[in-house]
Amino acid sequence: MPPASQEKRSAEVTRQRILDAALTRFARASYEEVRLRDVALDVGVDVALVHRAFGSKELLFTEAVRAALHSERLVAPEQGGLVGMLTRDIFGPDSYAGSRRADALHIFIHSLSSPQARGVLNGFVASDLIAPLATRLQDPAPQRAALALACVAGISILRDILHVGPLLDGARQESEPLIKDILCACLGAAENVTPAEGKPAPTARKLASAKAASAKAASVKAGSVKAGRAATLRARLPRRITLARDMGTSK
């Protein structure tokens, strides 16, 4: 291998080692507690090399989150479709301690107390998760994508961080179909959602028809209520007139 290629390969290996060390650090401590000097010490390099490879702590943090989540999979076709992929993410073997996805969950937990880290995560979720996933969904696509990701994140935290019993492997047979139903409801007619994973979302015409029918039913119900109230008032009116006349006569 030519010297230039060897040097490039060595730089790539060192960069990956820095990224791995940073991911571990961010998964174990808050954003403010992690220092680039400590990351460099873990790798055995000068801190200047960390700056040169990633530019800043914020950019290193973003790359660590991206490496943990593998967000590029959201736009790549996958056997079983989106629902199958997201469900496998929840129950997959990489959800346990020491895995990249488990690190991502711990990074999220540790970042909640940091305004700066929350800002980075907010931008990452919008650009690297919601936006690419929304390209595969029907309108309202951003809301569908955000709700699906919220479900996966919430379930993963309850399962992998809090170890809530009904979501653990022992109850997978009961919980997995329910999770798929939730994701199907969020994603709608997502690309690559197979028939086995859920019913296809209704067409726009059917949705409009359903909304119109619902509005009509609500209008009819409201009209019935108003008509009933009017009839009651009409029935009570003669009695009120009679009482008023009697009171006037008695005076």
State the sign of the Cα–Cα–Cα–Cα dihedral 125, 129, 131, 134. Answer: negative
Assess if residue 63 is contained within a domain: no
pLDDT in tens, 92-144: 776 554 557 778 889 999 988 899 999 999 999 999 999 999 998 999 999 99
Instruction: Looking at the structure, tell me whether residues 192 and 165 fall in a common domain.
Output: yes
d(CA 149, CA 77): 18
Tally of CB atoms within 10 A around 164: 14
Query: Cβ(201)–Cβ(138) under 8 Å?
Result: yes
Number of domains in the chain: 3
pLDDT at 5 over 80: no
Q: Which domain holds residue 110?
A: 70-201
Instruction: Looking at the structure, tell me whether residues 159 and 216 fall in a common domain.
Output: no
pTM: 0.67
pLDDT in tens, 194-225: 433 333 433 344 334 434 433 443 443 344 43
